[in-house]
Structure 1
Amino acid sequence: MKATAFCPGHITGFFSPKRHRDPLKSGSLGAGICIDQGAVTTLSATEGNRSIKAAVDGNAAPVTETALDLLLGDRELQIRSETVLQLPCGAGFGTSAAGTISAAAALCSILSLSREEAVRAAHIAEIKHNTGLGDVAAISRCGVTYRLKEGVKPYGRVERLDCTPTITACVFKNPLSTADILTDKEKNKIISKAGEKCIAEMRRSPSLDNLFALSRRFTDESMLASEEVTEALRALGDTQASMIMLGNSVFALGSGAEDILSAFGKTFVLHTDTTGPRILTRTE
């Protein structure tokens, strides 16, 4: 049996980490945009001694393997998973979550499990490996979202704005390590304080304009911006733009910013995804 699945990526504008003993209750508050590029996984399942091998762009994929292990349970199947990313890894596009969800969704299709089970397994794997906190929850809702309660169903709460913006993203050299930042206690204190204020404002006045304004404030207060990010945002002037969390990259509203941002790094014009993870093909 073989299945191929797609999962959109996700750009975070601001966030506040929230950790609990139960990984399903853990995650983050925040806001962001699901994007129409992410990850495509082809997964096969054959009878035989239980084994799981997963790769992302040809490299070992421990996060994906953790999610697949949770879903496989005690079934005697050999799982082989190959994921291709459509965007750079480590740039804040939620590729870890997208790759893991796409693989989990493919396996769930084969095992006749629900999409919610794929989401839960991917979220647990992300939390365990410190590769993300809120991407899975946001992707499961898709669109432009803000997260008012951390975790995934039935614990998390994600609201969606009625808009589908086009954005321009620009990626600079030297990607950030999400795990390094999420495990740094001092950085987390600063991030949490800044993120709490932003989500409180977003709750009071949820809008795309506010998402960009609060993301920019979070960029300043979290002190995560690199020199490249700072220079690019300065060049954009009054354009609605901010740093992508967590990546050495920026995103700006509309496609018009591409001419300015192309001088700083590789650019991508991205559209809002409102469909979420989906199965592309399935064969017996």
Structure 2
Amino acid sequence: MSKDVPLCASAPHHITAAFSPRWTEDRLTTGSVGVGLAVEPRLTICTGTSLGGPVTGTASKVLKLLGVEGVTVSASRALPWGMGYASSGASAVAAALLASALRGVSISRSLQAAHAVEVEDRTGLGDVLAISCGIGVVLRRRPGAPGLGEVDCVPAPPSVSVVTLETGFMSTQELLSSLGQSYYSASEDLVKALDRDFSFDRFASLVTQFTESLGLARWLLGEGADEVIRRTPGLIGYYVKKRLLVLLVERDEAYDAVKHLTSSYRFKARLLEPSREGPSLTLVA
């Protein structure tokens, strides 16, 4: 495809609920098993049109690795970085898709390059694999890059929205150093349970049990946090990623849920939607 043709690639974000890393000597087979939610708004990068700013960081490295040169690429940043939204992973997937179109290389090869950059930079272990599926609840059954790892998705019901409470920043490296074997063992048990019966309802139930059994909400927000969260209007389930509280709520009570959280805690709440579509390419009119 000509570099002069305006083109955009977009990808959903991803909020991991539980994971267990797998380290090997190969960046392509290094990764994690786990489960999370693909959410929108999406991250978008484009050629031939101006968005929020230039492509930097992970996306820039992916484009360079895949030989995209001599073309101006800009990016939108719909969600903050370092909060647990896998913005780096979303940018890597979008960059890989764009490079695939511009350079005429396979999407599998491009996504594997994106995964390798994430692993090398320690910005993510399984987000590229998860976002490559990118719809609703995402289950990473086998670790590794797309084409080597195994991933599955199940759409969230149309009646479900996602509310997050942003309590602070945390890098992936900080996250990895803060977690212990009890978290990883519980994550593996959760993945095995979902592998036997993978559905949205089972995810919502099991991830809440996982969160409460490990005391993750209390760690994040202090004693009594679980009781406050359980009083959220329309609550379906909840979990914690980094310093981010994630709630699944009934769509018709989402604004009441936001009001409840912000009246209980002085942090920014954000209303999101489960992703209904994986990564995509669009020609700009």
TM-score, normalization by structure 2: 0.81
Structure 1 unpaired stretches of 5+: 45-55
User: Which residue of the partner structure matches residue 131 of structure 1?
Assistant: 123
Deviates most, 123-132 or 259-268: 259-268
Does the residue aligned with 1:35 lie in a helix, a strand or coil? strand
User: Which residue of the partner structure matches residue 259 of structure 1?
Assistant: 259
* Aligned ranges 1:52-201 → 2 under 5 Å: 61-72=56-67, 77-143=69-135, 144-164=137-157, 166-182=160-176, 184=177, 187-201=179-193
Structure 2 unpaired stretches of 5+: none
Aligned-residue Cα RMSD (Å) equals 2.7
Does the residue aligned with 1:133 lie in a helix, a strand or coil? coil
Relative distance call for 1:249 and 1:162 in structure 2 (3 A) is: closer
Instruction: Please give the alpha-carbon distance, in whole angstroms, between the structure 1 residues aligned to 2:173 and 2:166.
Output: 19
What is the CA distance between 1:95 and its match in structure 2?
Answer: 1.0
Q: Deviations over 1:89-131 (max 9, x none)?
A: 2222121111121122222211122332332121111111111
Relative distance call for 1:236 and 1:151 in structure 2 (3 A) is: same
Instruction: Please give the alpha-carbon distance, in whole angstroms, between the structure 2 residues aligned to 1:132 and 1:181.
Output: 11
Relative distance call for 1:190 and 1:80 in structure 2 (3 A) is: farther
Relative distance call for 1:153 and 1:103 in structure 2 (3 A) is: closer
Q: Deviations over 1:107-160 (max 9, x none)?
A: 221112233233212111111111111111111112122111111333211122
Question: Does the Cα contact within 8 Å between 1:28 and 1:149 map onto a contact in 2?
Answer: yes
Q: Deviations over 1:29-59 (max 9, x none)?
A: 1112211213111246xxxxxxxxxxx9658
Instruction: Please give the alpha-carbon distance, in whole angstroms, between the structure 1 residues aligned to 2:215 and 2:119.
Output: 23
* Aligned ranges 1:224-235 → 2 under 5 Å: 224-225=216-217, 226-228=219-221, 233-235=226-228
- Number of residues of Structure 1 aligned to a counterpart in Structure 2: 267
TM-score, normalization by structure 1: 0.82
Instruction: Please give the alpha-carbon distance, in whole angstroms, between the structure 2 residues aligned to 1:115 and 1:214.
Output: 33
Instruction: Please give the alpha-carbon distance, in whole angstroms, between the structure 2 residues aligned to 1:233 and 1:91.
Output: 21
- What amino acid maps onto 1:66 in structure 2? K
* Aligned ranges 1:28-67 → 2 under 5 Å: 28-43=32-47, 61-67=56-62
Q: Deviations over 1:213-233 (max 9, x none)?
A: 332333345565443387654
Q: Calculate percent identity across the aligned residue pairs.
A: 25
Instruction: Please give the alpha-carbon distance, in whole angstroms, between the structure 2 residues aligned to 1:70 and 1:237.
Output: 46
User: Which residue of the partner structure matches residue 281 of structure 1?
Assistant: 283
- What amino acid maps onto 1:155 in structure 2? L
